[in-house]
Amino acid sequence: MGDGRRLKAGAAAMAEHWLTRAAERGYAAHVLVPRPGGGLREHVHDVLQVAASLPTRVVLVGHGEGARVVAYAMGRYPARAGALICPLVKDKTVPRVVGRGPVLVAGSPDDRVVGMKALDRVAGLYGAAPLLFPGLGHDLMLDPEPIEAVLDWLEKESVVR
């Protein structure tokens, strides 16, 4: 859906589109809705609390500002992997990843919120190039192609299954 339509935002869109597809491929998946009024510190804390409460180490996925939260959470939690989707990571550096979990940075060259320069910079922080989805814009969670690519990447990296 690269036409700019916004069907749902944030966690609701992730829940509707990505959780369904992850479940269809046999993965347990959860969406954490950010607490109202919380800042980066509180949101990272919430992610860490939920991740630590689950029976196995998790893969953390965040979109937009949520990608920034995931980047900081991975500095304190040894996630199996992380996926930063259209990351709004304004910081020049991010905490080093705890453990050895790989990090995928994905976005679109047609994103009007997160430009290519920002995508390249964030991906470079993790020693990689971004995975690109031309024509999709910022709301990658509204299209099936990106979630398929993330799940394929996790399998290729031997993170899951």
Of 9-23, 59-73, 117-131, the least confident: 9-23
> What's the rounded Cα separation, in Å, for the pair 104 and 49?
23
- Within a 10 A sphere around the Cβ of 27, how many other Cβ atoms? 14
Q: Which structural domain range is residue 63 located in?
A: 10-156
Helix, strand or coil, per DSSP, at residue 61: strand
> What's the rounded Cα separation, in Å, for the pair 12 and 32?
10
Per the domain annotation, does 99 fall within a domain? yes
Mean pLDDT of the chain: 87
Per the domain annotation, does 55 fall within a domain? yes
DSSP structure string for 71-132: HHHTTTS--SEEEEES----SS--PPPSSS--EEEEE-TT-SSS-HHHHHHHHHHTTSPPEE
Per the domain annotation, does 5 fall within a domain? no
Per the domain annotation, does 1 fall within a domain? no
Domain count, the chain: 1
> What's the rounded Cα separation, in Å, for the pair 52 and 92?
28
CATH number at residue 79: 3.40.50.1820
User: Does 121 score more than 80 pLDDT?
Assistant: yes
Per the domain annotation, does 2 fall within a domain? no
What the block records as the tokens of 90 is 């304004």
The percentage of the chain sitting over the pLDDT mark of 90, rounded to a whole number, equals 55
**pLDDT (mean) for 95-105:** 91
Per the domain annotation, does 138 fall within a domain? yes
Per the domain annotation, does 111 fall within a domain? yes
- Position 16 scores a pLDDT of 76
Per the domain annotation, does 84 fall within a domain? yes
- Position 160 scores a pLDDT of 65
